[in-house]
Amino acid sequence: MTLIYVIASYLALGALAGTVAGLFGIGGGLIIVPVLMFSFGLQGINPDIIPHLAVGTSLATIVFTSVSSIRSHNKHGAVRWDLFRPMTVGIVAGALVGAWTASLLSGRALELVIGIFVILVGLKMFFQVDPKPGRDVPGVVGLGAAGGGIGWASAIFGIGGGTLTVPYLSWCNVRMQQAVGTSAACGLPIAIAGALGNIWTGWSNPALPELSAGFIYLPALIGIILTSVFFARVGANLAHRLNARILKRTFSIMLLLVGLRFLLS
């Protein structure tokens, strides 16, 4: 694959991830990680580091794409900064530990873990399983602990955490608009800490391809961020014109198939 072809494929991936994120209100990481793993395989990258490279690159893209989302939600007063601040302390620590945890796993083990997670998200979307408000917002320590768990898991799966943060905040009786807005804000420290952790843990890996910074593949990063932000707006506009229930069911089936492929490959 020539560099021009590689960049073009990542521009297309950014467009797809952005559109999906806008359509379904989920982070693009659920699309970016599986597609990057497939693309890296076609490039002939060492299979032992493909999942790690996909996760690290996905987190790096979220650093750039989350800024636009935060600004949009903040304009509508949807970010609960009083929740964001204590959660961020845990998120940063958890994401750094999560990047280290992922580095300890073999490529196959990390692929299996991601596959199981994708299947669980697909099942949640298909059956529309959402937690009912069941408790009040905890104190600073509780929010920090929740942030630590969310950051840890997000850094392993290469996501911005919305799949985990929104249900948690909803369970804590936070209004859905504020849960989504606060989750978007939490995605930035998750991505920064996770990306830095992946640069650190992967920096001296001898299997890395050229143009890599640790477990971040720079051509993929550049291609994805150039198109994903614009197409997130396209997806958001389409979401108001198409049948949301059918779209979510279709996307959930796709996630189930992707997850099964990871488990059976």
Give the whole-angstrom CA distance, residue 197 versus residue 92: 10
The two structure tokens encoding residue 66: 């989350």
205-240 pLDDT per residue, tens: 999 999 999 999 999 999 999 998 888 778 777 766
79-130 pLDDT per residue, tens: 999 999 999 999 999 999 999 999 999 999 999 999 999 999 999 988 888 7
pLDDT above 70 for 199:
yes
Count of beta carbons in the 10 Å neighbourhood of residue 3: 10
In our burial notation (b when 16+ CB lie closer than 10 A, e otherwise), range 99-130 reads: bbbbbeeebeebbbbbbebbbebbeebbeeee
| Phi/psi of residue 47, nearest 5 degrees | -60, -25
Give the whole-angstrom CA distance, residue 52 versus residue 216: 9
Please tell me the least confidently modeled range out of 88-92, 139-143, 256-260: 256-260
The mean pLDDT value of the chain amounts to 90
3-state helix, strand, coil in the chain (%, to 5): 75, 0, 20
Give the whole-angstrom CA distance, residue 263 versus residue 265: 6
User: What is the residue type of 35?
Assistant: V
Instruction: Determine what percent of the chain is predicted with pLDDT higher than 70.
Output: 97
Angle subtended by helix axes 218-239 and 50-75, to nearest 10:
40
User: What is the residue type of 129?
Assistant: V
User: In a 3-state reduction of DSSP, which class is residue 105?
Assistant: coil
The strand ranges marked E within 179-258 are none
The two structure tokens encoding residue 261: 């492929």
pLDDT computed for residue 233 by the predictor: 76
Please tell me the least confidently modeled range out of 123-137, 187-201, 234-248: 234-248
26 pLDDT tier (thresholds 50, 70, 90): low
Please tell me the least confidently modeled range out of 39-48, 51-60, 126-135, 212-221: 126-135
pLDDT computed for residue 25 by the predictor: 61
Give the whole-angstrom CA distance, residue 118 versus residue 108: 15
Residue from 4, 238, 207 nearest 246 by CA: 238
